[in-house]
């Protein structure tokens, strides 16, 4: 299989398009569905503070590293890593970072699309007014009925994957860019609207103190690892998404500034999502669920009771769906780009093959709450196992090796040249990526996975 030359590799048509795509990748179910309940079980403010620390001290330097590796390679993550390693006179085994990214993003999209399917289904349910006046028990039962149904979850999963494939097969300028430049501004407007609504009608003060007042007693190694995992997941790090988006960058874009913008937008959205959700939850006297149910079981009760709940509920689930789709395309892109850059597959064929494979692989997750609920892998549910494997093992590992590679195996001069950062920022970044990122990841990883 011959590989098309890097000169044929696509590029973003503008810096704005790239920023929207990267923010679109970062902002997803992780921010709106996961962050609020992770924050809740991690002790509110304590989790949030640690999370923000990870985002800026570890996440941003790694974003910079991944974006610049992709841009330097101008190929899909696997081949970019191989190329940069060769240029630097290093072993091509470093391309394993690329492999881990491509395989990891494939695993994530296979279950991400399942949850994406649930959001689609909830959006339709709210539009139809089916959530009107539901009680707490009905909300719980409604969610259970959806996820345990023997075939419905598959339909929604397939529909969500179909939308994702439909965008990815149209390519960078024609597909990804068009989608994100339309959807991301819409998402921001919806979110701000939701926060204002929650601020006016909900218990804003309770939400603020819940999110920002640290309860340090809840803090333990597990919470710290989950804050690290959440920051990686939310920034789309160490799974190929950011590297592949970096490969579509032109030399003009300043990677450092872009990384800070992406991280700020991503954590801003996570916090705003908390400020949109918790005031409503508290105002209706509900207890925020610690698990997945927060968005799918608790919020619908509030939407079902409030005046205008059909509109607000539809907007909310619309927002969640949009966020999920712009992330899903970045999860499919790493593997699609790998196939599409060979002369054997066009982009269309590659998108169908990978999307189809991810759908099939994800169908086990899709049914994992229903007919396959007895299936466990190492004592975990199918989605639980995939999440553990990617978030707790593959992402920290790939992040660790990315930092080591860029910090110790690529020449300082090459990085300076690639980043074109002003001093002292280059030195700050270099220090973080050489010393702080690898140490912090290794320590946390050791404590949680290997034990004390």
Contact set with ligand TRP (CB under 6 A): 25-26, 28-31, 105, 108, 233-234, 236, 239, 241, 327, 330-331
Shortest Å, Cβ 195 to ligand TRP: 18
Smaller CB distance to ligand TRP: residue 139 or 239? 239
Q: What's the gap between Cα 395 and its chain centre? A: 12
Does residue 292 contact residue 383 with C-beta atoms inside 8 Å?
A: no
Smaller CB distance to ligand TRP: residue 107 or 406? 107
Shortest Å, Cβ 327 to ligand TRP: 4
Smaller CB distance to ligand TRP: residue 34 or 142? 34
Q: How far apart are CA 171 and CA 176, in angstroms?
A: 6
Shortest Å, Cβ 363 to ligand TRP: 20
Shortest Å, Cβ 137 to ligand TRP: 30
Shortest Å, Cβ 47 to ligand TRP: 16
Shortest Å, Cβ 108 to ligand TRP: 5
Smaller CB distance to ligand TRP: residue 240 or 256? 240
Smaller CB distance to ligand TRP: residue 236 or 402? 236
> Which of 305, 335, 302, 288 shows the shortest CA–CA distance to 98?
335
CB atoms < 10 A from the CB of 201, how many?
A: 16
Smaller CB distance to ligand TRP: residue 105 or 366? 105
Does residue 294 contact residue 35 with C-beta atoms inside 8 Å?
A: no
Smaller CB distance to ligand TRP: residue 134 or 238? 238
Q: Tokens 């639980």 identify what position?
A: 384
Shortest Å, Cβ 25 to ligand TRP: 5
Shortest Å, Cβ 311 to ligand TRP: 25
Smaller CB distance to ligand TRP: residue 33 or 430? 33
């Amino acid at each position: 299989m011959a590989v098309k030359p890097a000169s044929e590799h696509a590029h973003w048509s503008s810096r704005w398009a790239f920023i929207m795509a990267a923010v679109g990748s970062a902002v997803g179910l992780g921010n709106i569905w996961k962050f609020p309940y992770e924050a809740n079980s991690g002790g509110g403010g304590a989790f949030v503070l640690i999370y923000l620390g990870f985002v800026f001290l570890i996440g941003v330097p790694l974003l910079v590293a991944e974006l610049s590796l992709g841009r330097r390679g101008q190929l899909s993550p696997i081949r970019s890593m191989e190329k940069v390693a060769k240029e630097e006179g290093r072993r091509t085994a470093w391309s394993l970072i690329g492999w881990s990214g491509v395989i990891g993003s494939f695993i994530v999209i296979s279950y991400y699309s399942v949850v994406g399917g649930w959001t689609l289904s909830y959006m339709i349910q709210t539009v139809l007014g089916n959530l009107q006046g539901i009680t707490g028990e009905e909300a719980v039962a409604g969610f259970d009925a959806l996820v345990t149904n023997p075939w419905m979850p598959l339909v929604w999963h397939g529909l969500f994957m179909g939308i994702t494939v439909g965008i990815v097969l149209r390519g960078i300028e024609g597909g990804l860019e068009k989608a994100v430049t339309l959807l991301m501004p819409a998402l921001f407007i919806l979110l701000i609207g939701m926060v204002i609504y929650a601020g006016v009608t909900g218990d804003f003060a309770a939400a603020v103190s819940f999110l920002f007042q640290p309860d340090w007693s809840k803090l333990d190694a597990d919470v710290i690892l989950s804050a690290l995992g959440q920051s990686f997941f939310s920034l789309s790090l160490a799974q190929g998404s950011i590297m592949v988006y970096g490969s579509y960058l032109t030399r003009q874009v300043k990677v450092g500034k872009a990384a800070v913008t992406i991280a700020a937008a991503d954590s801003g959205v996570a916090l705003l999502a908390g400020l949109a959700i918790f005031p409503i939850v508290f105002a209706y006297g509900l207890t925020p669920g610690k698990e997945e149910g927060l968005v799918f079981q608790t919020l619908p009760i509030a939407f079902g009771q409030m005046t205008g709940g059909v509109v607000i509920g539809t907007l909310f689930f619309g927002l969640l769906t949009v966020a999920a789709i712009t992330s899903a395309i970045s999860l499919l892109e790493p593997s699609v780009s790998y196939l599409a850059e060979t002369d054997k597959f066009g982009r269309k064929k590659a998108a169908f093959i990978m999307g189809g494979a991810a759908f099939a692989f994800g169908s086990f997750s899709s049914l994992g709450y229903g007919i396959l609920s007895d299936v466990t892998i190492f004592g975990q549910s199918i989605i639980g196992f995939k999440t553990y494997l990617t978030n707790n093992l593959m992402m920290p590992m790939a992040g660790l090796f990315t930092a080591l590679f860029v910090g110790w195996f690529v020449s300082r001069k090459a990085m300076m040249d690639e980043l074109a950062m002003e001093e002292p920022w280059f030195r700050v970044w270099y220090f973080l990526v050489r010393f702080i990122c690898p140490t912090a990841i290794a320590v946390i990883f050791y404590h949680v996975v290997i034990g004390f």
